[in-house]
Amino acid sequence: MTLTAAGVGSLLAGCGKDEPGGVDLKNAPKGPIVLGFSQVGAEGGWRKANTASIKKAAERNRIDLNFKDAEGDPARQIADVHSFIDARVNVIAFAPVVETGWGQVLRRARDAGIPVVLTDRLIDEKDTSLWVSSIGAEFASEGNLAAIYLENEYAGTSGQVNVVEILGATGATPTKQRAQGFAATAAKSGKLKVVDEETGDWTKDGGEAAMKKLIKRNKRIDAVFAQNDDMGLGAVIALEAAGKKPGSAPKIVTVDGTKAALEGLVAGKLTYVVECSPEIGEPLMSVVVDLFHGGRVQKRIQSEKAVFDTQTAAEALLDRTY
């Protein structure tokens, strides 16, 4: 059984109630809206599409975008946020490279009266007043959906299903939560067993290298859970080089929903893809405008989600923009 997009919606928690966070939103600034945004980097197709969405939406909404690329360096990203505070931007937004180390700089932003918005990923800070809103996917649910699909695929078989997992960057929220979601669902029946894992750092080359190591260490691999499309497509290369038939033996489940992944589904190289839409530019700019004018914003805003198999991928490719 394959989950539909409607079925996905029933599994996800709703957005939180409107909350102003820790900034006085009633004293709206005057003049042009300036947004300081720090991006994780440009590690793959999803991230590039995410950046394009943000830049396009800023231009369409006539928001002055001060964009910086952290290139995967946490220290550089913190320095970017400090520079936004020094520049007195109206709103700061960033996609965190890692979860930790944000308390000091975000307290400084709050003291300066500059609201902060998290995008794509979350941070590990107990004081949730340090940011007014976060926009992105529910990563644990993506892992859940990947495991549910494999549970259904192997429902009529006996014995353990050996799964290897290709992880994203160490310390990143999606890496941790996608793994936790998959493990939580797999543990319910015990049929799926993650027998090994390797880090692929979100890239196609990283996924290929990780898969080569996993093949060497494991005699039997029934399924691969790659935490993003690029790593899954890299795994395809390694599996084919080893004489395997990726997409069927083993089955490959990935997360993101990029055009390249949907093409991989149609070609039979991938088996199932869980969407994590990078197109969050418009929701972000809507929050920025509301903050500028002193409005209340939702503390948590979820991005769009769907799931794809070989049949539904072909239709989705007709209007896929990333």
132-156 pLDDT, tens digit per residue, is: 999 999 999 999 999 999 999 999 8
179-205 pLDDT, tens digit per residue, is: 999 999 999 989 999 999 999 999 999
Position 12 confidence tier, pLDDT thresholds 50, 70, 90: very low
Side chain identity, residue 77? Q
What residues contact 319, with CB distance under 8 A and at least 6 apart?
A: none
Side chain identity, residue 125? E
Q: Burial letters for 192-202: b for 16+ Cβ neighbours within 10 Å, e otherwise?
A: bebbebbbbbb
- Supply the DSSP string of 36-82, one letter for each residue: EEEE----SHHHHHHHHHHHHHHHHTT-EEEEEE-TT-HHHHHHHHH
Does pTM top 0.85 for this prediction? no
What residues contact 220, with CB distance under 8 A and at least 6 apart?
A: 162
Could you give the domains of the chain? 18-136+279-298 (3.40.50.2300), 139-275 (3.40.50.2300)
Position 125 confidence tier, pLDDT thresholds 50, 70, 90: very high
81-112 pLDDT, tens digit per residue, is: 999 999 999 999 999 999 999 999 999 999 99
244-294 pLDDT, tens digit per residue, is: 999 999 999 999 999 999 999 999 999 999 999 999 999 999 999 999 988
The two three-digit tokens of residue 188, written as one number: 């319910």
32 close to 89: Cβ distance less than 8 angstroms = no
What residues contact 306, with CB distance under 8 A and at least 6 apart?
A: 5, 8, 257, 275, 316
304 close to 322: Cβ distance less than 8 angstroms = no
pLDDT at 9: 34
